[in-house]
């Protein structure tokens, strides 16, 4: 499919996030995975006088923000440009300080470490994300569940694999099973999970655990939340044309510098080469893509995904290669992409149809890949 210069190429989900684990550094276990996205240091590039390009790293992945300046600001000075970039970084730093499980001092880590079952005051944004996560858990019959944290860590996709490379998990002796969690540890983790064990209170914002051992992981929703937060900030600053991309979770509004709608190209889920699969046009919508074809590890010929089915405690095993969800909220789209990845091609698709959600699924087949999308998705697809 031909691409014009204004098409934003969304790295296929596999390339985007693991690649470096969400909120942390790449873990030893998945270090074999190819990072195809260049991680750049925070920086502003005005490129053309009409567009501000700000890139950097956050939450263990990249971010890329494009803002089209209104005509009267087209030649705004360096100071304003730098200030905008600085404020964006501040927003991201703040979200990390509240929601990262890789930081022991984050509000979330303090809640996770708390051993009480009383209301625990938290920042408002953390309350918002947890409340939305619980709603999506109900909608997906528990396929999406932020209490899966202990399982994520046991399977080696969380901060239990620390920066020094020490596994906090205790590997079973024996070559084939090394690094795989022990059955008793999995059983113990299963007893700790369940979204019904968490309550939220709006004023003043607070969370409560029924079981002090509950441990939350917001990796599948916080990037989307951060995208929304930056989009809202840009709106408040009077910008009506922008594209915000954090690790492949993206939201775009208005028109690009060429005055045409933002177009986002999503890659084919092939681990070894890059090929454009679909282009979608977005104006006021978010797109999130979830996939495990690069974020996984292999042990004894078996593939283990970073997406965990809370009902089994195991990484998902179906043949869904990638799930793309479009919606108004990046937070919800991010979480729904993960939820549908858990539900699989049949149940996930049925849920998307029932909810009239624009969703596009790619499944692995013997011959390669096959596509399926809901009717609601077609209105976003660019055909040329
Ligand atoms: P993807 O877009 O491929 O779903 P994300 O980075 O959005 O990737 O989310 C994956 C992360 O979500 C995992 O690394 C893990 O931390 C967490 N996770 C895994 N399974 C679940 C689940 N069933 N519900 C909520 N979060 C999950
Ligand atoms: Mg997600």
Average pLDDT score over residue span 8-21: 46
Q: Is residue 84's pLDDT more than 70?
A: yes
**Is 345 a residue whose pLDDT tops 50?**
yes
> Phi and psi for 274 in degrees, rounded to 5?
-105, 130
Determine what percent of the chain is predicted with pLDDT higher than 90. Answer: 62
Mean of the per-residue pLDDT values for the chain? 83
Least confident of 3-12, 96-105, 111-120: 3-12
Task: Compute the C-alpha angle 73/265/257, nearest 5°.
Answer: 15
| Structure confidence by residue, pLDDT tens digits, 102-142 | 899 999 999 999 999 999 999 999 999 999 999 999 999 99
Q: Pick the residue with more confidence: 19 or 254?
A: 254
For the residues of 212-278, what is the DSSP string, one character each? TT-----TTTHHHHHHHHHHHHHHHTT---EEEEETTEEEEESB-TTSSBEEEEEE---SSS--EEE
Distance between Cα 327 and ligand 1 center (Å): 18
What pLDDT is attached to residue 82? 82
pLDDT at 73: 59
44-48, 252-256, 379-383 — which is least confidently predicted?
Answer: 44-48
Q: Is 53 strand, coil or helix?
A: strand
Task: Report d(CA 308, CA 314) in Å as an integer.
Answer: 6
Report the SS3 class of residue 371.
Answer: strand
Distance CA 365, CA 89 (A): 42
Q: Best-predicted range by mean pLDDT among 81-90, 193-202, 314-323?
A: 193-202
Does residue 290 line the site of ligand 1, with CB under 6 A?
A: yes
Q: Is 56 helix (H, G, I), strand (E, B) or coil?
A: strand
Ligand 2 centre from 337 Cα, in Å? 6
Hey, how many other C-beta atoms are within 10 angstroms of the C-beta on 48?
A: 13
Q: If DSSP codes are grouped into helix, strand and coil, which group holds residue 184?
A: helix
For residue 208, is pLDDT > 70?
Answer: yes
pTM: 0.87
Residue to probe by mutation, ligand 1, list 112, 151, 219, 296, most atoms within 8 Å of CB = 219
Name the least confident of 4-13, 122-131, 246-255, 337-346: 4-13
| Domains of the chain, first to last | 1-41+111-225+252-384 (3.10.520.10)
Instruction: Provide the 8-state DSSP code for 306.
Output: S
Q: Give the separation between CA 117 and CA 124, rounded to whole angstroms.
A: 19
Closest by CA to 122, choosing from 64, 190, 198, is: 198
Higher pLDDT, 309 or 44: 309
pLDDT above 80: residue 212: yes
Per-residue CA distances from 383 to 187, 275, 358 (Å): 49, 16, 16
30 lines ligand 1 (CB under 6 A): no
In the chain, the largest separation of any two C-alpha atoms, in whole Å, equals 67
pLDDT of residue 20: 33
User: Is the shortest distance between the CB of 228 and ligand 1 below 6 Å?
Assistant: no
Residue 49 pLDDT class (50, 70, 90 cuts):
low
């Amino acid at each position: 499919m031909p691409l014009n210069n204004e098409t934003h190429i969304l790295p296929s989900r596999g390339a985007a996030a693991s690649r470096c684990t969400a909120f942390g550094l790449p873990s030893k276990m998945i270090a074999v995975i190819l990072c195809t996205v260049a991680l750049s240091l925070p920086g502003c590039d005005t490129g053309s006088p009409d567009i501000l390009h700000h890139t950097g790293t956050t939450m263990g992945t990249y971010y890329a923000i494009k803002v089209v300046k209104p005509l009267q600001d087209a030649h705004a000075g360096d100071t304003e440009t730098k200030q905008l970039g600085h404020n964006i970084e501040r927003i991201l730093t703040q979200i990390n300080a509240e929601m990262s499980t890789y930081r022991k001092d984050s509000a979330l880590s303090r809640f996770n470490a708390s051993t009480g079952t009383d209301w625990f005051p938290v920042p408002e944004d953390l309350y918002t994300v947890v409340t939305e996560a619980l709603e999506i858990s109900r909608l997906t019959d528990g396929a999406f569940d932020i209490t899966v944290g202990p399982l994520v860590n046991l399977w080696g996709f969380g901060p239990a694999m620390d920066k020094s490379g020490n596994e906090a998990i205790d590997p079973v002796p024996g070559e084939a099973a090394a690094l795989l969690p022990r059955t008793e540890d999995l059983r113990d983790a299963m007893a700790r999970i369940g979204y019904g064990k968490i309550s939220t209170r709006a004023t003043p914002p607070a969370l409560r655990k029924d079981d002090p051992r509950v441990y939350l992981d917001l990796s599948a929703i916080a990037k989307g939340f951060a995208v929304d937060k930056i989009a809202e900030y840009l709106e408040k600053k009077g910008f009506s044309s922008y594209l915000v991309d954090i690790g492949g979770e993206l939201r775009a509004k208005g028109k690009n510098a060429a005055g045409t709608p933002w177009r986002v190209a999503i890659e084919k889920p092939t681990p070894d080469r890059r090929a454009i699969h679909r282009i979608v046009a977005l104006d006021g919508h978010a797109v999130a893509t979830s996939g495990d074809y690069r974020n996984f590890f292999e042990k004894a010929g078996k593939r283990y995904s970073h997406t965990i089915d809370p009902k089994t405690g195991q990484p998902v095993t179906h043949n869904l290669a990638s799930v793309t969800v479009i919606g108004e909220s990046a937070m919800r789209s991010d979480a729904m992409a993960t939820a549908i990845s858990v539900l699989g091609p049949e149940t996930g698709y049925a849920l998307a149809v029932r909810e009239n959600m624009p969703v596009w699924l790619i499944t692995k087949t013997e011959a390669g890949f096959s596509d399926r999308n809901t009717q609601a998705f077609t209105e976003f697809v660019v055909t040329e």
